[in-house]
């Protein structure tokens, strides 16, 4: 019997961390989770708030990092630099920068059918308008490590949104922040036709509207957790779901699974492992791009993994098994299908 050993790359200013999540069917029902992590080669440039994903290049699944903010944590440190990590050599290289006019943060990257799509984000200025959300859809070909012509612009410019892919075909953008306020919009991009459509909006208000939440699609259901909500930008512990109509993907039925006030999360990395949704790291306090809370104090990262079994309503916590990491705009996942349950149970549990 085979299982999935998923290699998840997470980024902070200081570390590139490889986390192996081992969740096997014979053990899931017993609530057993195993996490291992190790630090890999450091990026040649300290960065955070960067859009990250994995994609195949030359037959090997590699990690890509686009844009972000440097260790000055100043608006002048927001950049457009692109980096590529090759696991076989444990080595990084810098590629051509993202083709935009000004550095950008709070974007999200995702690969569909061999092309990476880097969507949204925002620019920061010293004076008015101070922050400006982006409508850009940057397209990147990992086989040639080069940028293609941009895709059709996002109808509602967006940043700090939930971004995930359905059936390796449609990219969903859920809520987020646009220039001056939260938006309830669900924007759906078809990368094959380069066309945007509107999905069923999330209900207005603090239960659903957010910025800095993260989520995944498992089957035909969107799961997203946390984020900043309300006029005070308080961190949320809500776990929401949206059931996608498989006959018409624009039709989504939204509900709140639970409000886990002791499990608030902001800018965590989200990933799906079989029928489980995981949120890795993040913070329980909301903060601006400089890592300072909206109350004016430095923020601490979490060494936490939240695990949601999509067959129920629980949100379990696994503490202390990963490094403290936050400001995650995506996780680069690689799947090794060669590890068997027997191998894992004999030496990896």
Position 197 scores a pLDDT of 98
Identify the band that residue 23 occupies on the pLDDT scale cut at 50, 70 and 90. very low
Give the least confident one: 9-13, 43-47, 338-342: 338-342
Per-residue pLDDT for 33 more than 90?
no
pLDDT, residue 2, reads: 25
All domains of the chain, ordered by start, with CATH?
5-347 (2.120.10.80)
pLDDT at 271 over 80: yes
DSSP character at residue 2 = B
Give residue 22's pLDDT band: very low, low, confident or very high (50, 70, 90).
Answer: very low
Query: 344 pLDDT band (50/70/90 cuts)?
Result: very low
Asked whether the beta carbons of 264 and 283 are under 8 A apart, the reply is: no
Whether residue 342 has pLDDT greater than 90: no
Q: What does the longest C-alpha to C-alpha distance in the chain come to?
A: 60
pLDDT tens figures, 55-68: 999 999 999 999 99
User: Which of 88-97, 291-300, 329-338 has the least mean pLDDT?
Assistant: 329-338
Q: What is the mean pLDDT of the segment spanning 324-330?
A: 89
Mean pLDDT score of the chain: 88
167 pLDDT tier (thresholds 50, 70, 90): very high
Rounded Cα–Cα distance for residues 79 and 77 (Å) = 6
* Over residues 87-92, mean pLDDT: 93
Q: State the DSSP H helix or E strand holding residue 61, giving kind and residue range, or none if neither.
A: strand 60-69
Q: Which strand ranges, in their side-by-side order, compose the sheet holding 16-22? A: 34-39, 16-22, 5-11, 332-336
**CA–CA separation, 299 vs 293, rounded Å?**
6
Q: Output the pLDDT for position 319.
A: 87
Q: How much is the pLDDT for 335?
A: 66
**Please, which residues have CB within 8 angstroms of residue 123's CB and are 6 or more apart in sequence?**
78, 102, 103, 104, 131, 132, 134
Q: What is the mean pLDDT of residues 107-114?
A: 97
Residues in the chain: 349
Class of residue 334 by CB neighbours under 10 A (exposed 0-12, middle 13-18, buried 19+): middle
- 214-256 per-position pLDDT tens digit: 999 999 999 999 999 999 999 999 999 999 999 999 999 999 9
pLDDT band at 296 (very low <50, low <70, confident <90, very high): very high
**Positive or negative: CA dihedral 316, 322, 328, 329:** negative
């Amino acid at each position: 019997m085979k299982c999935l050993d998923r290699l998840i790359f997470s980024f902070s200013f200081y570390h590139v961390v490889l986390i192996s999540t081992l969740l096997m069917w014979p053990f899931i029902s017993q609530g057993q989770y195993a996490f291992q992590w190790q630090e890999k080669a450091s990026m040649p440039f300290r960065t955070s708030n960067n859009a990250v994903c994995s994609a195949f290049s030359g037959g090997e699944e590699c990690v890509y990092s686009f844009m972000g903010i440097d260790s000055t944590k100043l608006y002048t440190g927001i950049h457009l630099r692109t980096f590529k990590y090759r696991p076989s050599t444990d080595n990084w290289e810098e590629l051509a920068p993202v083709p935009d006019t000004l550095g950008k943060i709070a974007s999200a990257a995702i690969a569909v059918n061999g092309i990476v799509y880097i969507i949204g984000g925002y620019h920061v200025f010293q004076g008015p308008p101070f922050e400006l959300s982006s409508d850009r859809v940057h397209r990147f070909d990992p086989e040639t490590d080069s940028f293609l012509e941009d895709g059709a612009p996002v109808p509602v410019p967006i940043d700090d949104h939930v971004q995930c892919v359905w059936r390796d075909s449609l990219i969903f953008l859920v809520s987020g922040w646009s220039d001056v306020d939260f938006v309830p919009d669900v924007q759906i991009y078809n990368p094959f036709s380069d066309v945007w459509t509107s999905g069923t909006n999330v209900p207005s208000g603090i239960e659903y509207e957010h910025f800095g939440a993260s989520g995944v699609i498992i089957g035909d259901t969107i799961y997203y957790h946390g984020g900043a909500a309300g006029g005070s930008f308080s961190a949320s512990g809500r776990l929401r779901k949206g059931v996608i109509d498989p006959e018409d993907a624009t039709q989504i039925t939204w509900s709140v699974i639970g409000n886990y006030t002791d499990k608030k999360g902001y800018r965590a990395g989200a990933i799906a492992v079989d029928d489980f949704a995981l949120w890795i790291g993040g913070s329980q306090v909301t903060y601006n791009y400089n890592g300072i809370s909206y109350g004016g104090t430095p923020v601490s990262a979490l060494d936490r993994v939240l695990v949601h079994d999509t067959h129920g309503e629980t949100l379990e916590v696994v503490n202390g098994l990963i490094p403290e990491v936050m400001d995650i705009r995506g996780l680069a996942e690689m799947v090794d299908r060669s590890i068997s349950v027997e191998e894992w149970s004999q030496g990896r549990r």
